Structure 1
Amino acid sequence: MFFSTPFHILICVSDCLGFVKERVGYVLSLTSSICVGDIWSQGGIAIFGILVYWIDNDFKLRERLVAAIPFSSVRHTGPELEAATKLACASMGIGEYKQLKDADGDWLAEMEDTVCDSVHCTVSDNASNIVNGWLCFDGHECVAHTLALIVKAFLEQPRVKKVFAKLRGMTGHFNHSVIGVKLLYEILKRNGLAKSKPPQDNDTRSGWGGAFKQAKWYHQNKVAVKMYDIEHPTKTANAVPNLDGSVYKDHQLTNDEWEILRESLYILNHPTILVDLLQGAHYPTASLVLPLIGKLAHIADEATSLKYEGKPVTVVLPDVVDARKKLLKGVTDRYFTDLMDCKVEDFSVATILDPRYKSFKFKCANKWMRGNLTREKAVAWTRKAYDSDWKPKPKPVESTDSNPSQKKVKHNVVTVASYLADSDDEEFDTVASEGEVEKDELSIYLSLPDVPLDTYLLKWWKSQEVELPSLSRMARQFLGVPATTAGVERAFSKVTFMHSDLRKRLSEGSIEHSIMASMNTAEFD
C-alpha cells in the first residue's frame, strides 16, 4: 500500500506553536503591551493578525506576533474584531477575557475583561471597522495611512490628477505591449539609461506610494519617453489598446504636463521620505511623528525654499502651488487642529521623552502647533502620566515632634499649572519649603540640554537607567509605540509568500500555525 510521509514542516509547526505561545506569554507578562493589528485576505481566506511591541530590559525594541486568527467565516465588524482581539490577547496572558459563572455554575452574560487594562495602546489602519472595534483601547491610527489621506488632497488637484492618470495609462501600455517595451528598451540603451519599465501604481494600502515611484521613473527617463512618443507610431501603430480601450497617444504628456509632473515630485518626495522613516523596524518611531509632521508642514508652506536630490528647486506653476496649499491644509487640519487629544497624547509624551526633541525646537513647532498642541501641553501630559503611574511613592517620614500638625513633610510637589506657565526649561525646577530645591526624575530630565540629533535614543536611555530609573521605565513604555502598522503589513508579506509558495493549499489554520512559528522562533534559544 502506498504511504506518504507527513510533510516535515507541518510536523514541527504544532510543537513550535506551543513553545512560541509559552515564551511569548511569559515575555508579555512582564510589560504593558502595545498592540498593532490588521486583516489580510487572498483567494477567499482571511487572517486577522495582531502584533505586540515593547522595549525590553536591555533597551532593545521587540516585536512579536501574538495572533493570526482565521477570519473568513467571521463578519469583519467592530464587535467581532474587539472580541477576537481580547480573546487572542487573553490567550497570551495579556489580561483576562472569559465568561463568568454564578454560584450554581451557570454561565452569566457578563465577561471578566481586563484586557484593556493590560494594553497600553493600539495602532490600526483607518478602516472604520477596526477603528470602531478598538474604541475600548487607547490608541491611534497608522500615521502612514493618515498621510495617504493628506497626500490624496494634493493628487486630487484637477491638473495634477490628470497628469497622474496619464502616467497610469502610459504604464498600462508598456505592461502589455511587447513591441512597445522592446522599442522602449532600445531607446533607453541609446540614451545610456538603465533597462527598465515604469512600475505599476498598484499600491492600494498607502494610496500614493506607487504613484510617486511611477512618477519618479517618468521624470528620470523623460528623454527616452519623449523619443518614444516620436518613434512609436510607425513601429507599434497603436495596435494594442489598453484594457479601457485607450491607446498610447491618448496618454502622452504635453510640455506643460511634464512641468507639472516635475514640480509635483519636488513636493511628494518629502512625505515619501517621512513614511520611510516612520516605518523603521529597528528604532523607536513614536517620538519622530511630531518632528516629521512639523517638517512636512514646513515643506508644504509655499514660502519655504525646496531641494530635490540635494539641489535647490522652485515650485511656481499655479496648479502645483494650489495642490501644495491643499497639502498644508491637510497636514495642519489632521494633526494640529482637528486631531483629538487622546490620539496625539502618546506622540506628545514620546516626543518629550526623546532627549533630541524634548524642547520642541524642531522645524515649525511653534508656527504650526500653536493652539491645540503646544510643548506646555505635552509636558503636562507627561507630568500627569509620570505622577500617576511611574513616579516612586514618597517614603513615610517618621517624626518625633509632639505637634506633627506644625511639621511639613518635605517632598516634591509639582502641579500641571506650573508647567503651563512657561516653556523655559528653568521653570521646570520645583522649589520645596524651607528654601531647599527638590527635583524628581522628570524635573531633572527636563532640565538637561537636548542631545545631538544623531544620538542613538535607546542607548542614551540605557545610560540613564541608574540616574533616572523610574523615568527610563516610562520611556520604554511610550517609546515602544510604533507610528505605523508597517510591522503587521510585513508579517502579511510573509503570509502571502507562504500561501502562494504552497500553491494556495494552506488552510487558514495552517497559515496561522506556520506564520506564528515563523515569526516568533528566530530569537528564542
Structure 2
Amino acid sequence: MYELPCRKTVTKRIQQLYENEKEDKVNLLEKAECVALTADHWTSVSNSNYLGVTAHFIDIKWRLHSFALTIQKTTTRHFAENVAEDFESVAEAWEVTQKVTTIGTDSARTMTTAMRLLTFQHMPCVAHALQRTITVCLADSGFTGTLARCRKIVGNFKHSPSNTEELQKEQTEREQDKEPLIQDVSTRWNSTLFMISRLLKNQEAVKATLAKQKHKLTMLTTAEWDRLQRLETLLKPCRYVTELLGGEIYVSCSVVLPALHPLTRTVEVSDDDPAYVVRFKAAFKKDLSQRQDTLNHGWLRVATALDPRFKCLPRGERGGVWTSVEELLQKEPDRATPEPTEEPARKRSLLLFNSDSESEDEEGPNGALGRYRAEPTISGTDCPLQLWSTHEGAHPQLSALARKYLGSPATSVPCERIFSLAGNIVQKKRAALSSENVNRLVCLSNWLKEKKENK
C-alpha cells in the first residue's frame, strides 16, 4: 500500500541532501591548510562536455581526504584559456583559491597549456605517461600482429554465447574456473595485460574449443604463445606501478620516484632476450625517460624526502633536494613546539631506495632538518601519515611541509573514477538529465561512499 513519492519530491530531497553534504565538505575545506586538485574533461552520451574536479588534502588529524568538488557542464570549446578560467571558477566557488597547491591532469596539450596560465603547480599524471609509453612500445616492437590475433580469438567467444558455453565445458573438464576471456580496450589501463594473462591461463581450453569449431581465425603459433608469455612478464611491473600510484586513500606523490626507478631496471637488456624483447625494452626505456622529463620533479623530490619510508634520493640529487627543503622551512611560519615526551631517536644510516647511496655515510645539517634526517626510515608497508601524526610535535615546521607535499595525488585517476561513475548515471535512458542534477547525483554518490568508508 506504499505510495511512491512523485518526481518533484524525489528531486527536492536529492537537492536537500546535496546541500547538507556539500556544507560538510565546505567545512572540511575551510579547516584544510593546503588543497590539491585533479581535473579532466568528459563527454556524456548526449555529447555534452563536462569538467570534473576532485579535492585532496590531509587534515589536522593526519587523515587523507579525497572527494569530488564538481562535475560541471562547460559550454565553451576546450581552448587553454577557457580551461584555465574553469579551474579558477571552481577554486573560487569552493573558496580554496589561496590554498590550492597542485592541479593534476593528463598530458593533453590543452591541459598542459592551461596550467602555464595559472599560478598553481602542475602535476602531470604519471599513470597516463606510463600507459602512453606501453602503447608506443607495443606498436614499435612487433607485438601488433600477435595482439590483433588475440583480440579476434577473444571476440570469437565474447560475441557468441554458444562458443562461450563450449569454452566453459572445456574449462570444467580441466578443473579450471569458468572464467570469461577479457577483451582489451585502448583507453583502459592494463587491459592488454589482463587479456593476454587470461588467454595464457586458458590456453589449452581455448585450443581445444577452437579445434572443434569451424572458424576462419588465424591461430597463434607456438612462437606467438611464447611471445605473449614474455610480454606478460614485461607488463606486470607496469601494472603494479599504475595501481600503486592510482590510489586515493593513501599517499602516492612521494612514491613516484621510488617506483619508477626499479621499473627502469626491469627493462635492462639481457643476453637471453630475443630481438623483439630487446626492441621493446629499448623503446620503453627511451620513451619513458622522455615522458619523465615532463613530470614535476621539484615537487616529487621534496615529497619523497618528506616521506619517512624513503627520505633520500639518488646521490646526485640529494644535496639539491635538502637545500630546497631548507629554503622551504625558512619560509614556513614559526610554530609552537611542545615539550618532548620521549628521548630523540638515535642517529642511524639513511635507508635509500637507490643502491648507489646505501654505503654512503653522510652527516646531516644541524637543526630540525638534521634531526629528521638522522631518524631511521620506517617500513615500506607502514603509513607515513601515522608517523607524522606522532612526530608532529617534534617537527612542527617540517610536518606542515609534509602535510602540503604528501597530500598531492600522483595521478588524475580520481577524476577518471568520477567519470566512470558519471557514465553509470548519465545513460542512454537518462541522457536528458540537467547538468545541475548530473552534478548533484555524481557528487552525492562520491560523497556518501567516502563517508561510508571513513566510518
Length-normalised TM-score, structure 2: 0.86
Among candidates 370, 378, 394, match of residue 321 of structure 2: 378
Taking the aligned partners of 1:163 and 1:179, their CA distance within structure 2 comes to 25
1:33 and 1:53 in contact (8 A); partners too:
yes
After superposition, residues 289-368 of structure 1 pair within 5 angstroms as 289-303=256-270, 316-335=273-292, 338-339=293-294, 343-360=296-313, 365=314
Give the corresponding residue for 2:20. 19
Cα 1:510–1:502, aligned 2, differ >3 Å: closer, same or farther? farther
C-alpha distance after superposition, 1:103-161 (max 9, x if no partner): xxxxxxxxxxxxxx531111011122222222222122111101012212331234222
Percent of aligned pairs sharing the same letter: 22
After superposition, residues 190-269 of structure 1 pair within 5 angstroms as 190-206=173-189, 209-232=190-213, 237-238=214-215, 247-249=216-218, 252-269=219-236
Letter in 1 for 2:330: D
Taking the aligned partners of 1:138 and 1:380, their CA distance within structure 2 comes to 20
C-alpha distance after superposition, 1:266-293 (max 9, x if no partner): 1100100111111122110011111100
Letter in 1 for 2:24: R
Taking the aligned partners of 2:154 and 2:272, their CA distance within structure 1 comes to 26
C-alpha distance after superposition, 1:460-502 (max 9, x if no partner): 1101011111211210111011011121122222212222396
Cα 1:272–1:502, aligned 2, differ >3 Å: closer, same or farther? same
Taking the aligned partners of 1:425 and 1:64, their CA distance within structure 2 comes to 43
1:324 Cα deviation after fit:
1.7
C-alpha distance after superposition, 1:146-194 (max 9, x if no partner): 1012212331234222211211121222222344323322222222222
2:134 and 2:284 in contact (8 A); partners too:
yes
1:356 Cα deviation after fit:
1.3
Letter in 2 for 1:349: V
For these two proteins, the number of residue pairs brought into alignment is 425
Cα 1:229–1:377, aligned 2, differ >3 Å: closer, same or farther? farther
Letter in 2 for 1:379: W
1:504 Cα deviation after fit:
3.2
Q: Report SS of the residue matched to 1:471.
A: helix
Letter in 2 for 1:299: T
Give the corresponding residue for 2:164. 181
Q: Report SS of the residue matched to 2:142.
A: helix
Give the corresponding residue for 2:363. 427
1:67 Cα deviation after fit:
1.7
Q: Report SS of the residue matched to 1:40.
A: strand
Letter in 2 for 1:517: L
Taking the aligned partners of 1:490 and 1:158, their CA distance within structure 2 comes to 31
Among candidates 161, 164, 169, match of residue 144 of structure 2: 161
1:66 and 1:89 in contact (8 A); partners too:
no
2:141 and 2:280 in contact (8 A); partners too:
no
Q: Report SS of the residue matched to 1:427.
A: coil
1:82 Cα deviation after fit:
1.0
Cα 1:191–1:140, aligned 2, differ >3 Å: closer, same or farther? same
Q: Report SS of the residue matched to 2:131.
A: helix
1:154 and 1:326 in contact (8 A); partners too:
yes
Q: Find the structure with the greater CA-based Rg.
A: 1
Letter in 1 for 2:172: K
Q: Report SS of the residue matched to 1:81.
A: helix
CA RMSD of aligned residues (A): 2.6
Give the corresponding residue for 1:511. 438
Cα 1:40–1:380, aligned 2, differ >3 Å: closer, same or farther? same
Q: Report SS of the residue matched to 2:68.
A: strand
Q: Report SS of the residue matched to 1:155.
A: helix
Q: Is residue 465 from structure 1 mapped to residue 446 from structure 2 by the alignment? A: no
Q: Report SS of the residue matched to 1:63.
A: strand
Letter in 2 for 1:482: P
Cα 1:516–1:219, aligned 2, differ >3 Å: closer, same or farther? same
Q: Which segment drifts farther, 509-518 or 57-66?
A: 509-518
Q: Which segment drifts farther, 286-295 or 196-205?
A: 196-205
Taking the aligned partners of 1:287 and 1:213, their CA distance within structure 2 comes to 27
Structure 2: state its 5+ residue gaps.
337-356
C-alpha distance after superposition, 1:73-105 (max 9, x if no partner): 32122111111111111011123xxxxxxxxxx
Q: Is residue 130 from structure 1 mapped to residue 130 from structure 2 by the alignment? A: no
Letter in 1 for 2:232: L
Taking the aligned partners of 1:387 and 1:297, their CA distance within structure 2 comes to 35
Give the corresponding residue for 2:248. 281
Letter in 2 for 1:214: M
Give the corresponding residue for 1:480. 407
Cα 1:5–1:339, aligned 2, differ >3 Å: closer, same or farther? closer
Q: Is residue 66 from structure 1 mapped to residue 69 from structure 2 by the alignment? A: yes
Letter in 1 for 2:43: S
Letter in 1 for 2:274: L
Cα 1:278–1:489, aligned 2, differ >3 Å: closer, same or farther? same
Taking the aligned partners of 1:205 and 1:258, their CA distance within structure 2 comes to 23
Letter in 1 for 2:217: Y
Q: Report SS of the residue matched to 1:266.
A: helix
1:12 Cα deviation after fit:
1.9
1:40 and 1:46 in contact (8 A); partners too:
yes
Taking the aligned partners of 2:386 and 2:166, their CA distance within structure 1 comes to 54
1:356 and 1:453 in contact (8 A); partners too:
yes
Q: Report SS of the residue matched to 2:89.
A: helix
Length-normalised TM-score, structure 1: 0.75
1:425 and 1:446 in contact (8 A); partners too:
no
Taking the aligned partners of 1:479 and 1:87, their CA distance within structure 2 comes to 25
Taking the aligned partners of 1:210 and 1:155, their CA distance within structure 2 comes to 13
Taking the aligned partners of 2:27 and 2:68, their CA distance within structure 1 comes to 14
Letter in 1 for 2:56: Y
Cα 1:391–1:448, aligned 2, differ >3 Å: closer, same or farther? farther
Taking the aligned partners of 1:284 and 1:323, their CA distance within structure 2 comes to 31
Q: Report SS of the residue matched to 2:426.
A: helix
Structure 1: state its 5+ residue gaps.
96-116, 239-246, 304-313, 394-421, 431-438
Q: Report SS of the residue matched to 1:463.
A: helix
Give the corresponding residue for 1:51. 54
Taking the aligned partners of 1:319 and 1:351, their CA distance within structure 2 comes to 35
1:355 and 1:451 in contact (8 A); partners too:
yes
Taking the aligned partners of 1:511 and 1:324, their CA distance within structure 2 comes to 44
Q: Report SS of the residue matched to 2:86.
A: helix
Give the corresponding residue for 1:106. none
Cα 1:248–1:177, aligned 2, differ >3 Å: closer, same or farther? farther
Among candidates 111, 120, 133, match of residue 150 of structure 1: 133
Cα 1:118–1:454, aligned 2, differ >3 Å: closer, same or farther? closer
Taking the aligned partners of 1:211 and 1:426, their CA distance within structure 2 comes to 45
1:229 Cα deviation after fit:
3.9
Q: Which segment drifts farther, 483-492 or 183-192?
A: 183-192
